[in-house]
Chains A and B, each alone.
Chain A
Amino acid sequence: DAGITQSPRYKITETGRQVTLMCHQTWSHSYMFWYRQDLGHGLRLIYYSAAADITDKGEVPDGYVVSRSKTENFPLTLESATRSQTSVYFCASGTGVQETQYFGPGTRLLVL
């Protein structure tokens, strides 16, 4: 009964490094999402995917890359990490347009 998992849970990296955050869900939900959460802001959508091989930009996509070769996985890559990307990242999944989104436990990323 894993549901939706994220790894790593905590990550420290340096400016300029490439970092990949993993997200895996066992429900076969068609939709998956990446959000970031920062103090003073609500959750902000980075990218989302409606199905395997279909991805689209959200509110704050710059500096991030996603892929979705399999329904259950939706990795988020920071190609060249910047300090402004220090944040808590949440992955979520859902079944359709009107349905609830189910969130993972989050990844805390610190970029030095």
Chain B
Amino acid sequence: KNQVEQSPQSLIILEGKNCTLQCNYTVSPFSNLRWYKQDTGRGPVSLTIMTFSENTKSNGRYTATLDADTKQSSLHITASQLSDSASYICVVKRYGGSQGNLIFGKGTKLSVKP
């Protein structure tokens, strides 16, 4: 079964600290993996998209890694800010699937406290 599992479900950190969010998937065949940030009450916003051949991709203080062999991805947030408080969603697309064939994780809710 094609699944995307994220951990932890929720996380609280202090402002200025780093954190890492995990995403494990069983989607096959793999096409790409995306991380989205969703602020409360708003739609998701894309942070990164990585294909099979990409191991790391950065977007400012956000760095995503991908290990296609172990089917794991992580999102590392450096020097967290209050504005990083949001849900982070991992999404995997199956190769050859239609544009509609995205599998969404349930997200990790991050709270950054002052």
Chain A residues at the B interface, C-beta cutoff of 8 Å: 31, 33, 40-45, 48, 50, 56, 58, 90, 92, 94, 96-98, 100-106
A25 → chain B closest CB, angstroms: 12
- Summed over the interface, the residue pairs from A and B with CB atoms below 8 Å come to a total of 52
When distances are taken between beta carbons in the complex, the residues of chain A under 8 Å from B45 are 103
Main secondary structure of the interface of B (DSSP, over half): strand
Q: Shortest Cβ distance from B92 into chain A, in angstroms?
A: 11
- Collect the chain B residues with CB atoms within 8 Å of residue A56's CB: 98, 100
Q: How far does the alpha carbon of A33 sit from the alpha carbon of B100 in the complex, in Å?
A: 8
Q: Using known A-B contacts A100-B49, A106-B43, determine if residue A45 contacts B32 with beta carbons closer than 8 Å.
A: no
When A and B form their complex, which 4 residue pairs have the shortest distance between CB atoms, in order from nearest?
A103-B43, A42-B104, A100-B46, A48-B100
Q: A31's contact among B42, B51, B99, by CB below 8 Å, is which?
A: B99
The total of chain B residues at the interface (CB under 8 A) is 23
* Candidates B31, B43, B104, B105; contact of A98 at CB < 8 Å: B31
